Structure 1
Amino acid sequence: MKVIKNEPLPNKVECANSLKNVLDALYVLNGKWKLALILSLVQSSKRFNEIQQELSGISAKVLAKELKDLELNDFISRKVYPTTPVSIIYEATGYSRTLKNVLGELSAWGEQHREKVKLSMRKQS
């Protein structure tokens, strides 16, 4: 784990501002699926069923709601093609790509945490 030494602690105002910023971000990105959906669509544009197959465990109802929320917050766009039957393609917007560093750090932390859990389980055995 990377520990930053000799860095001063934030003052009360900085801490309060950081907390507000984090709460704002979590309000928009809350839920189990939103970041995974963004990551999936940053990789490539997809149809509804393709997304549901990639994110095993998400119900159609929850997926529809999460896609709608992400579209309202400009993280994804929905393109309707007048074919028979109608084709709808979801894709990441430029705004969703502003989360690149966040997703990278979260991925690195998740890997680090998984290793910590594995090590902990070996010690218990």
Structure 2
Amino acid sequence: MNAKTKQQDRRVFVQDEHCPIRNVVAHIGDKWSLLIIFSLVDGPDRFNSLKSRIEGISQRMLTQTLRDLERDGFVERTVYPEVPVKVVYELTDLGRGIAKPAWGLVSWANDHLQDVYSARKSYDDRP
């Protein structure tokens, strides 16, 4: 295969709604989405419980990220007509489906964190 053919065979990531990386992966790969998804893996939870378990997330950011995850079909929000009102968040089938491959990435990152740190140090130490 010549260099021109290799160049032609390279993936192109277009900026449109059908590009899976731009459309889905970038969204769930933000700072908070996966942490929320992993927090809901063991079952439904309430807002304040999620907030207390996800260190560093603000109320505003948790609200927005939950809305985004609900809009994308990863999380379902259920409101119970009680006094006071009870709101519970849980993963949908789609949310549970993304949790497993995402956990694979997190596990890989955990296994290779020292390699990444070493590579960064080598890079930063170059003249």
- Tell me if both proteins adopt one fold, taking TM over 0.5 as the criterion: yes
Q: 1:12 aligns with which of 9, 28, 41?
A: 9
Query: How much is the aligned-residue C-alpha RMSD, in angstroms?
Result: 3.0
State the distance in 2 between where 1:84 and 1:109 align. Answer: 45
Kept in 1, the 8 Å contact 2:44–2:90? The answer is: yes
Q: How many angstroms does 1:118 deviate by?
A: 6.2
TM-score (norm 2): 0.74
Q: Which residue of 2 aligns with 1:76?
A: 75
Identical-residue share of aligned pairs (%):
29
State the distance in 2 between where 1:103 and 1:28 align. Answer: 13
Q: Any unmatched runs of 5+ in structure 2?
A: 1-5
Residue deviations 1:13-59, cap 9 Å, x none? Answer: 6x226993322223432420011111111221100000001101000
Higher relative contact order (CA 8 A, sep 6+): 1
TM-score (norm 1): 0.75
Kept in 2, the 8 Å contact 1:77–1:90? The answer is: yes
Q: How many angstroms does 1:120 deviate by?
A: 6.8
1:52 aligns with 2:51: yes
Question: How many correspondences in the alignment?
Answer: 115
